[in-house]
Structure 1
Amino acid sequence: MNTTNINNKSLAYEARGSAEPVLLMHCGFVADAFAPLMNDAEITSRYRLINYHRLGYGQSDRASGPMSVAEQAADARALLRHLGIERAHVVGHSYGGVIALQLALDAPDAVQSLALLEPSIPAALADPAVAQLFMEAAGKAFAQFGAGDKAGAVDTWLSGAFGPGYREIADRALPDWFEQAARDADVVFQVEAPNIQQWTFTPAEAARITQPVLSAYRPEPNWPGFQKTHDLLQAWMPQIETAFLPIERHLLQIMNPRAVAEALAGFFARHPMRVYA
């Protein structure tokens, strides 16, 4: 990866492909979650994919203190400008989808289209069943983190998000990823988890987003939060398009990059850019 100074901090990034730019925002814990998509020759032959490690992850600087979702979105915008890109398709997976939504609100001219891969919006927790499942997993994970067991905290959290046996599946695509996730645990538990509790996304804010939006999801019997989020986005955004992914877990592009690439490429093709950097 390359590194560059963005807002007085070093961010690691890579770009692959050509033509219309696509900014990828990874999920929590897994800095290289988009690496399998970056290796998909078909989509990189049609689009310029830009993948980066958010602050606190992977090869980027550690997070030195509190950092809002808006600040994370500002980092993404600054990275695009560093690359000479004024407008891009934006893709966010899970917590990355939260940042993508914030970027669309704060810098609408920078977002050509918005592809959301099962984002985590707090409004979904208004459902008691969703809230109970989340609090059970999160409470145990925070207790483990507080006791110094970072690997255990990561495993507890991701067992809930990705399902049993997730490590074996992810290991096939991303060797050594779990060790990196444990090293990056601080940013999740000390920065991003508190952020999501403070961040709001309401119908009024959703109405401000006028770009084309894709909600890509799959049914999840063990964690109804993703379905609830998808339902809310459909209700709040009349322009939303849906892509049903034939993938069993929230691992998405880690598990089946070809299916995700096909959904994204089809969406981008329906909403092409007239001019791109």
Structure 2
Amino acid sequence: MDTVTVNGIRLEYEIRGSGEPVLLISPVIADGFLPLVAEPALAGRHQLIRYHKRGWGGSTHTPGPVTVADHAADAIALLDRLGIGRVHVAGHSSGAAVAAQLAQDHCDRIATVSLLELSLLSVPAGAAFFEQVAPAFRAYAEGDAERAVQLFMPVVGGMDRDRCLTLLDERVPGSVAQAVKDADTFFGVELPALAEWRFGPDQAAAIRRPVLSVLGSDTRPLWVEVAAFLRSNVPDLEECVVDGVGHLLHMERSPAVAGAMARFLERHPIAS
């Protein structure tokens, strides 16, 4: 990946394809969008920009707190350095939180927002989610980052441990090992920031750009509730449900997710 220095930190990034730019923002699996950027429906029509947020991969690791707004500021600074004006933005899970924040903070720069199962922990199901992943937090607190990741990801993905870890490493080789390396960022910085992030009805209503909400049909109650929240509060919302998948939808069925995003982007070009 290439690197650029913004806001006093180094960010790794990669650009593929040509056409209208789409900024892709990942959560715990730093390279989780790799299966999606390989899909012709997107890669054949758009300039796809993916990057490692601060604290992930080879990007600069800074001590917390690092807020969702900080990540949004880094993203816009990256676009500035790349000479990109208006852009489509897409994020998965906690990366979707950064995408939503960008749409609030930099409305003039954002053409559309694609939210792949936005993680919003303030909905009622958030408390139950924290209970489900508590063993992973305990493992991390005990100094076992590998076990923490191996406990966390299957709960999030809604599948058994072996199937989840196999899927991750098949779709993005080395992704589980990298998530272990990034565990201090995820458990110590990212999740606390996400828990403190405020995105209520007023913030959702302030997004004045077309928004695509993508949900897996077999996902956890947390993301079902978040989808309902978005449906009730985002002014210009379109929805897509991908059959037979959970929270790792863009890795499980990347052609279906890429197709849904491509159709959405075609309906809302930057030039319009």
TM-score, normalization by structure 1: 0.93
In structure 2, what is the Cα distance between the partners aligned to 1:37 and 1:4?
A: 23
Give aligned-pair identity as a percent: 39
- Which has the larger displacement, 68-77 or 237-246? 237-246
Q: Which residue of 2 aligns with 1:266?
A: 263
Q: Which residue of 1 aligns with 2:17?
A: 17
Please tell me whether residue 158 in structure 1 is matched to residue 149 in structure 2: no
In structure 2, what is the Cα distance between the partners aligned to 1:65 and 1:21?
A: 30
Answer yes or no: is the 8 Å Cα contact 2:218–2:243 preserved in 1. Answer: no
Note the 1:184-195 alignment, pairs <5 A. 184-195=182-193
Please tell me whether residue 224 in structure 1 is matched to residue 224 in structure 2: no
In structure 2, what is the Cα distance between the partners aligned to 1:184 and 1:247?
A: 29
5+ long unaligned stretches in structure 2: none
1:36 deviates by: 1.0
Q: Which amino acid in the other structure matches residue 50 of structure 2?
A: N
5+ long unaligned stretches in structure 1: none
Answer yes or no: is the 8 Å Cα contact 1:122–1:200 preserved in 2. Answer: no
Note the 1:88-99 alignment, pairs <5 A. 88-99=87-98
Please tell me whether residue 131 in structure 1 is matched to residue 127 in structure 2: yes
TM-score, normalization by structure 2: 0.95
Answer yes or no: is the 8 Å Cα contact 2:118–2:223 preserved in 1. Answer: yes
1:19 deviates by: 1.2
Q: Which residue of 2 aligns with 1:208?
A: 206
The Cα offsets for residues 3-36 of structure 1, whole Å up to 9 and x where unpaired, read as 1101111100000111100000012x20010011
In structure 1, what is the Cα distance between the partners aligned to 2:95 and 2:244?
A: 19
Answer yes or no: is the 8 Å Cα contact 2:218–2:244 preserved in 1. Answer: no
Moved over 3 A (4+): none
Q: Which residue of 2 aligns with 1:3?
A: 3
Please tell me whether residue 55 in structure 1 is matched to residue 54 in structure 2: yes
SS in 2 for 1:122: coil
In structure 2, what is the Cα distance between the partners aligned to 1:152 and 1:136?
A: 17
Q: Which residue of 2 aligns with 1:42?
A: 41
Aligned residues: 269
SS in 1 for 2:122: helix
Q: Which amino acid in the other structure matches residue 228 of structure 1?
A: E
The Cα offsets for residues 144-178 of structure 1, whole Å up to 9 and x where unpaired, read as 11111001111111111012121111221111111
CA RMSD after TM alignment: 1.4
1:247 deviates by: 4.0
The Cα offsets for residues 88-120 of structure 1, whole Å up to 9 and x where unpaired, read as 000010000111111111111111000000010
Q: Which residue of 2 aligns with 1:243?
A: 240
In structure 1, what is the Cα distance between the partners aligned to 2:116 and 2:109?
A: 19
